[in-house]
Structure 1
Amino acid sequence: MLDLWVKKELKKKMKKKPPENPSPQLSGYEKQLIHVIKEQTEKYNKNNVTRTQAYYNFYLQHPEIHWALLGHMVSRNGGWNMTDLKGELLTRLLPEKDQNAFFSFLERGNWLIFQDVFPQFLIYDLSVKAKADMFHLFPSFHISTFMETMWRYFWKKGDCYTLAIATVINEQSYLEKRVIQNAYFKKTVTGTVGFKLYDFLRFNNILFPYCTDQKGQKTELVGDTLRHFTSLHERILLGKRLYALLFQRQNMLPGVLKWTREHPHTGSRKDYWPHLFNDVNGSAPRALYKRRIKNCKLRKGANRLYSPKLRYAWKNIPHEEAEVGDWFEDYHIIEYLNHKEVDVDGKVCREYCRTLEKIELTVMAKEAVSLREEE
């Protein structure tokens, strides 16, 4: 059951309008802190690699903040999705215009989440160092009143699970209007044939690599698949399942941490499966694609699939300021915080292998149609 104090506080905040001037009573020292937090957030919000590393570094400092590791692992997947757009398979399926639009969509979401959540982390770090709650600084960063309540609850109770799931709810709700329901992205991404193909091919597996032996020489995958990307409900449930995989499945966390420590994020899928992916393109230009994969192993004599590092696939791009506004309008969303057992087995490897084979067949079919049209 969710704490009664949380329910009362959130009900009160539903009735209260947020102040027009979010930081009228701050001291000079507090204003200086806000400036430093903004600088730090901007410094690490350059690209997917810098964000992903910042989450991991914060988790190492504060392992009680479970979402920092969950965010790190999901952000790795975001980077892999970005580089896929310039990799072996999707460059043959999606025209360059779609590749650029999809990247803008993924990058905007990745950027928005970081600029919302990282100031929360830094304010918590300040609170720990000062041994005093500093969450009154949240409004200066337009952080939802929902999260201010949840951090205060965590400060009192130390409930790692509830804070992590609250952060999942917050970040997905934060994205809903700004990215998923955004008119520009609906037109250029989520409403396009390319996106429907992307969804159909199930190229939205979230993978958590982990070491299965002490030497760290064998990497296995667990994870889950997002079935309806545009559904807020489905994205929150996926977050809960992924949290359960990381923090509630026996012996999973040490293997994931060992793998993350030994494999810095580059954006290339070579990071977890160098037997199948390479960050150097060994394919002959313009050669017709031939099947290379069977059960997630290379066929005899086949080249590994090209999966570039992020820094070679995409340049850093500037972002417009995040749209201001608190998403917290429906009190019932707190029902997601109820601590129920989540049914998740994490067996994603076979499905992921089938996905790759399905994409190969789609590429070959597309090239065959193009050849016939040329004739």
Structure 2
Amino acid sequence: MGSRFATLGKKWAAFKQSQLPPLLSIKKDLKQKSNCVKEASVSITELPVADQQLIDQINKRTRQHNMNNVTRTRAYYDFYCRHPEIHWAFLGHMVSRNGGWNMTDLKGELLSRLLSEKEQQEYFQFLERGNWLIFQDVYPQFLLYEESLKRQTNLFHLLPYFHVSVFMQTLWNHFYEYKDCYILTIGLVINEQSYLEKRVIQNPFYQKTVIKTFEFTLQDILSLNQILFPCDQEQLIGQTLHQFASLHERILLGKRLYTLLFSADVLHCVSRWAAKHVHTGSRKDYWPHLFNDVKESLPNTSYTRRIDNCQLKPDAKRLYSPSLLHAWGNVEHEEAEIGDWFDDWRVIYYLIPINEDVDGEIFHAYCKTLEKIEFAIMAKEKILPPSS
């Protein structure tokens, strides 16, 4: 990460000549936090009763909405509708939709023909754990912000009782005073990806079962890490992530996705689509002409190409894409690992805005991806035909 900071530091040096005052105050606060031992919080039992009750209520509401990808995705959207100034909530909602689609793909028409049952389960556990972890970290932050508005007082001193990084304590305090939506959103992107890094990406179990497998590498080859923002009239906007295992690349992708999603035309279009389409986890949500949550093809039959430029070939059956609740049951998770990822104030270099247009063209790349997967299935079946 040091070399990445060196490159980003040069951009910071050029950037700070003009519009840096807000970032300088954040830098000062974070330097103090990274250069000292993090002090233990006052015991929760020593807090005022009202604060203890609030912490308990927030924990209960978070658990209630953290049952599965569908409930999480809905909770992000509902919060954004209440507080549209918290841009990450809508970005998180749309990315979480993609997480659900990736989960159901494992049981869908295409990937179920490429992956074994064991591989499907391991990939799902990987995706589900990350989805669960992010929600249980970020949603208490949202509810604490909401309560701060209700009480008209800053309550972010309570963030440590939800094991939220000191990095976000600084960012929320800054947002509460200055209402800088961009800085808060990118701060949350940095926080959530850094939070996942040791708990999922660097976790030895997921390294062995997912990250270092040939199938995971195949995702990069087939461009399966495509984040799609559906719009009207079957239109897709988005970005492709290569090097999923790179924290740096995931943060940069988050910045690009935010810049893309919150451009005026795209935000209006995608927001309108999201309001009309409840998230089920099935890709039928956005392309019912190509996907169906009911299986139309016969089992144990050889696969023949059905897709041409994201349209069905004549007389071809739609691709099976189940709803999440049909594909996977709820998971009982172990408690999140305790520990603060923040140890280097230079992560604020990522807060520098993107000064370039972000290309959201992804339709043709996504169509090619589907066709590549079809060819991969047919190649595999030449070697190992489906069971009769």
- TM-score category (smaller protein): over 0.9
SS of equivalent residue, structure 1 residue 164: helix
Residue pair 1:240, 1:342 contacting (<8 A) in 2 also: no
Q: Secondary structure at the match of 2:322?
A: coil
* Partner residue in 2 for 1:17: 37
How do 1:161-172 residues align onto structure 2 when only pairs under 5 Å count? Answer: 161-172=182-193
Distance in 2 between residues matched to 1:12 and 1:137, nearest whole Å: 19
Q: 1:200 aligns with which of 221, 232, 235?
A: 221
2:249 is matched with 234
Of the candidates 152, 157, 177, which is equivalent to residue 173 of structure 2?
152
Q: Which amino acid aligns with 1:358?
A: K
Alignment CA distance shift 1:300-1:22 (3 Å): farther
| Whole-angstrom CA distance in 2 between matches of 1:27 and 1:16 | 27
Please say if 1:348 is aligned against 2:362: yes
Task: Write out aligned runs for 1:18-37 (5 A).
Answer: 18-21=38-41, 23=43, 25-37=46-58
Query: 1:212-227 alignment to 2 at 5 Å?
Result: 218-227=233-242
**What is aligned with 1:214?**
none
Q: Partner of 2:110 in structure 1?
A: 89
- Per the normalisation by structure 1, the TM-score is 0.96
Q: Percent identity?
A: 58
Query: Match for 1:153: what amino acid?
Result: H
Q: CA RMSD in A?
A: 1.3
Structure 1 stretches of at least 4 aligned residues deviating more than 6 Å after TM superposition: none
Structure 2 counterpart of 1:185, from 167, 187, 206: 206
- Find the aligned partners of 2:234 and 2:311 in 1 and give their Cα distance: 14
CA distance in 1, matches of 2:217, 2:353: 34
Show the 5 A alignment for 1:210-359. Answer: 210-211=231-232, 218-247=233-262, 249-359=263-373
How far apart are 1:158 and its partner, in Å? 0.4
TM-score, normalised by the number of residues in structure 2? 0.92
The residue that corresponds to 1:127 in the other structure is 148
Q: Does 1:363 align with 2:358?
A: no
Distance 1:82 1:265 in 2: 13
1:20 deviates by 3.1
For these two proteins, the number of residue pairs brought into alignment is: 366
Contact 2:255–2:354 (CA under 8 A) maintained in structure 1: no
- With over 3 angstroms needed to count, the CA separation of the structure-2 counterparts of 1:15 and 1:23, relative to structure 1, is farther
Q: Using the alignment, how far apart are the partners of 1:364 and 1:222 within structure 2? A: 29
In the alignment, structure 2 segments of 5+ residues that lack a partner are 1-19
Change (3 A) 1:12 1:239: same
Q: Does 1:112 align with 2:133?
A: yes
Contact residue 290 and residue 364 of structure 1 kept, 8 A: yes
| SS at 2:235 equivalent | strand
| 1:157 positional shift | 0.4
SS of residue matched to 1:223: strand
Q: 1:329 to 1:207 in 2, by over 3 A?
A: same
C-alpha displacement of 1:16: 2.5
**Structure-2 separation of matches of 1:197 and 1:166:** 31
Corresponding residue of 1:38: 59
CA distance in 2, matches of 1:17, 1:53: 38
Shift of 1:17: 2.0
Unaligned runs of 5+ in 1: 212-217
